[in-house]
Structure 1
Amino acid sequence: MDKNGFTTTIVHSDRRASVEHGAIHKPMHPSSEYAFADARELAAVFQGKAGFTYARQGTPTTTALELKVTQMEGGTATVSFATGMAALAAIFFTLLKAGDHLISSKHIFGNTNSLLGTLAGLGVQVTLVDATDARNLEQAWRPETRMVFTEALANPGTQIADLAAIGEWCKSKGLVYVVDSTLVTPLLCQAKNVGASLVMNSLSKHIGGHGNALGGSVTDTGLYDWSAYPNIAEPYRKGNPTSWGLTQIKKKGLRDMGGTLSSEAAHRLATGAETLSLRMHRICENALALAQALSQHPKVARVHYPGLPDHPQHERARQLFGGLYGGLMGIELIDDLDVFEFLNRLRVLALATHLGDNRTLVLPMAHTIYYEMGPETRALMGISDNFLRVSIGIEDIQDLIGDFEQALV
């Protein structure tokens, strides 16, 4: 970020980068290819000079969005992808190889868990640990360990990893430290401040915020020495080593794998990012008030929300996130309440699978995202049949509380 505040920097990011014709927003560039008047210039761009050749590897519109995300995260550079999952896949598949070892938090999104299973099937060793205590990583370490991955705020259980301690441990071991910051956003916590090497954001969520575009990003914080990482291919060991890791992620993830973000989606996400701070403050305010109300309701067995004093990592959340606690909560209804009947009585909340939207969304986890895992795995992960994931929106708080009250009969 520059000397201005968070929102001021993002709102004026395009304009300060000299947008064509004095426009306030970077326009959409839908062209698939980019022509050159000079053949030497064309060759230079293919060989690493900044520029555009084919939209699979980026456009002026995606580049403008990447600049905003880099500014938010306080990083050195960002690469955007079609989705958050494409961004994670690019990190894992471009930086790890068969025989390498990855340590991951066990408190992760169901689809990310599935991705790690695919990675293991290709020969990468994966160990899942309880990352709320950094000492568990030491026990899992091996000489082949290359990377550590965790979500800053776990989806859906709301566990908070021992982020700063993990960062210190990864630094001592020379490991790449990857943090998924989707649910806290750089507004609540810049992952650079806890020692992250790479930060992944699902831009589809809070940063875009409006549920109208998919996207993901990987930001290099500038903290990791890529010259010491054994898996950087020779063609990318050129120039300043701080760019090597992200260059390989971009070349392999976009050029080879094709996980490209469209200019239209990038434009929508960049516009949505301008109001991130305004929306997140309202969302966090709503979430805390709703969590406090539901924690007292006789038909709610438990509320998982970092803003509540009984949350296991409440104090850690308070210190890391600056007094805001995010917009995700897990709600466990009492056993004799039919979860489907309850959901069908809701009138304000939307029954939808998404997070970080302006609208409050609710999903029964055992019957949807975690269904394929089976009851035994769900039990190990603490996902009961009456566990609801709720992503809080910007509605009037009394309407949200009232909707729960009328449905909890």
Structure 2
Amino acid sequence: MSDFGFTTQIVHQDHLAHREHGAIFQPIHPSTEFAYATAEDLAAVFQGRQAGFTYGRTGTPTTAALEAKITAMEKGIGTVCFATGMAALNAIFFALLRQGDHLVASKYVFGNTNSLLLTLGSLGVEITLVDATDASQVEAAIRPNTRMVFVETIANPGTQVADLKAIGDLCQTRKLVYVVDSTLSSPYLRRGRDFGASLVINSLSKHISGHGNALGGAVTQTGLYDWTHFPNIYEQYHKGESNTWGLLQIKKKGLRDMGGTLSSDVAHRIAAGAETMALRMDRICSNALALATVLQAHPRVSRVHYPGLASHAQHERATEFFGGLYGGLMGVELKPEVDVFDCLNHLKVAALATHLGDNRTLVLPAAHTIYYEMGPERRALMGISDGFLRISVGIEDEPDLIGDFTQALDAARA
């Protein structure tokens, strides 16, 4: 189906690839165990010599169908799904890195990812955080023991856009594993492989699922990296083409051993939600640009962080990378005299909730919620003031969204 367009391929992936009873959707397989006619077949599946399923913790036909769909979206060579996006991140770091290794990561990362990096550092992996909007900072941080570079396409919540292509070229030259978290842009705006990514992460809970009713994460292998250059692949996973070894180790050590399993029921919901991703993303991006344009002109707003605005530091880069669609996330800094809680309490359409990529517009005070544990000094380094609102724009009617935020700002107590 590679000759079809993005949405056509997703919508028809299940019934063209697997016509069990003519079902349009891949059926939900709740079984945790899978039996075989002979012991030889069972052994062959366990050893990877024969296709099949061994135990529900490492996958089912339903999760496999979703993995095929994500692989098609990213034009990769394989995907492993997990119970959450954070489980996918954990699987990469803990399956591939060892004590004494060095990881270069963007300093503009999601709060829970930052917490995970701190944990990784406490276990003996050296971490260097850099401004990933400048590839030269990544290059300057590389050491002889550097194994991996990790960035997000669009940062949460500051919306910084990493120098993705230049970092990819650098990693290719240095033979480093390049991990790109595409959650905020989604494969619809741009695929990670276009930037030279070795591995692409998607939080399936966000734009791909879109309905706020499923948690999931995925790691996709692009096939661009030759894992013979990576010293941490165990000998037993030197199977098949060398560009597949990394994902095999992630599945064995990161999914099987750690147990962050995506259930068949949830995989089915994500797969169904994914069918309308392109339609939702077009509407979300359109709404976000309109809202950002209005908010930046409001007298009670000091600054709006949104890549679609000409005032954004990486606006031209974002336009080049994402083709005029800039995602649904923005950061809005209220002027110091505005009571941030009173402003939020006046909202009637937007929901006060912590999530991204939903059909509904969601908003929260970042410093008081998702970044509270960081403390004021770390928040200041990331540019998150007490009046910083994180807004994930949904698919509502544009006039309703603009009217809602405008009236809340006008009514907020000073």
Separation in 1, partners of 2:55, 2:167: 39
- CA distance in 2 between counterparts of 1:405 and 1:318 reads 27
SS of equivalent to 1:12: helix
Q: Which residue of 1 aligns with 2:241?
A: 240
Aligned-residue Cα RMSD (Å) equals: 0.7
* C-alpha displacement of 1:50: 2.0
Give the Cα separation in 2 of the matches to 1:391 and 1:37: 51
Work out whether residues 18 and 26 of structure 2, in 8 Å CA contact, stay in contact via their aligned partners in 1: no
The residue type paired with residue 5 of structure 2 is: G
Counterpart of 1:133 in structure 2: which amino acid?
D
* Per-residue Cα deviation, 1:35-63 (whole angstroms, up to 9, x for no partner): 11111000001001321110000000000
Q: What does residue 116 of structure 2 align with?
A: 115
Question: Aligned pair 1:185/2:186, yes or no?
Answer: yes
Contact 2:67 / 2:81 at 8 angstroms: preserved in 1?
A: yes
2:309 maps to 308
One-letter amino acid of the counterpart of residue 125, structure 2:
V
Q: Aligned partners of 1:64, 1:76: CA distance in 2, in Å?
A: 14
Residue type of the alignment partner of 2:280: R
| Paired position in structure 2 for 1:34 | 34
Question: Aligned-pair distance for 1:237?
Answer: 0.7
Check if 1:349 corresponds to 2:350: yes
Q: Which amino acid aligns with 2:30?
A: P
Q: Which residue of 2 aligns with 1:338?
A: 339
**Aligned partner letter, 1:173:** R
Q: Which one-letter code corresponds to 2:135 in the other structure?
A: A
Distance in 1 (CA, whole Å) between partners of 2:366 and 2:112 is 12
Say whether the 8 Å CA contact 2:182–2:200 is kept in structure 1: yes
Output the CA distance in 2 between the equivalents of 1:278 and 1:95.
36
- The amino acid across from 2:13 in the alignment is S
- 1:291 alignment counterpart: 292
8 Å contact kept, 2:79–2:218: yes
**Residue 127 of structure 2: aligned partner:** 126
User: CA offsets per residue over residues 320-376 of structure 1, 9 Å max, x none?
Assistant: 001100000000011011101111110000000000000000011100111011111
Match of 1:43 in 2: 43
Q: Percent identity?
A: 70
State the AA in 1 paired with 2:169. E
Specify the SS of the correspondent of 1:293.
helix
Equivalent position amino acid for 2:25 in 1: H
CA distance in 2, matches of 1:254, 1:96: 15
Task: Tell me which residue corresponds to 1:176.
Answer: 177
Q: CA deviation at 1:254?
A: 1.4
Cα drift, residue 19 of structure 1: 3.0
Counterpart amino acid of residue 45 in structure 2: V
Runs (5+) with no aligned partner, structure 1: none
Secondary structure class of the residue paired with 1:358: coil
Matches within 5 A, 1:7-406: 7-48=7-48, 49-406=50-407
Provide, for residues 264-310 of structure 1, a one-character-per-residue CA deviation record: whole Å limited to 9, x for no partner.
11000000000010000000000000000111100011100000001
Distance in 2 (CA, whole Å) between partners of 1:387 and 1:246 is: 38
Q: How many residues align?
A: 409
* 8 Å Cα contact 2:98-2:125 kept in structure 1: yes
Query: Deviations along 1:194-252, whole A, 9 cap, x unmatched?
Result: 10000000000000000000000000000000122100001101221121100000011
Runs of 4+, deviation exceeding 3 Å: none
Distance 1:14 1:147 in 2: 34
**1:39 counterpart letter in structure 2:** A
Q: What amino acid sits opposite 1:120 in the alignment?
A: G
Give the TM-score of the pair, scaled to structure 1.
0.99
Q: Deviations over 1:98-140 (max 9, x none)?
A: 0000000000000000000000011000000000000001111
Question: Can you give the 5+ residue segments of structure 2 that lack an aligned partner in the other structure?
Answer: none
2-structure distance, mates of 1:50, 1:213: 28
The residue identity in structure 2 corresponding to 1:181 is: S
Post-superposition shift, 1:192?
Answer: 0.2
Q: Amino acid of the residue matched to residue 3 of structure 1?
A: D
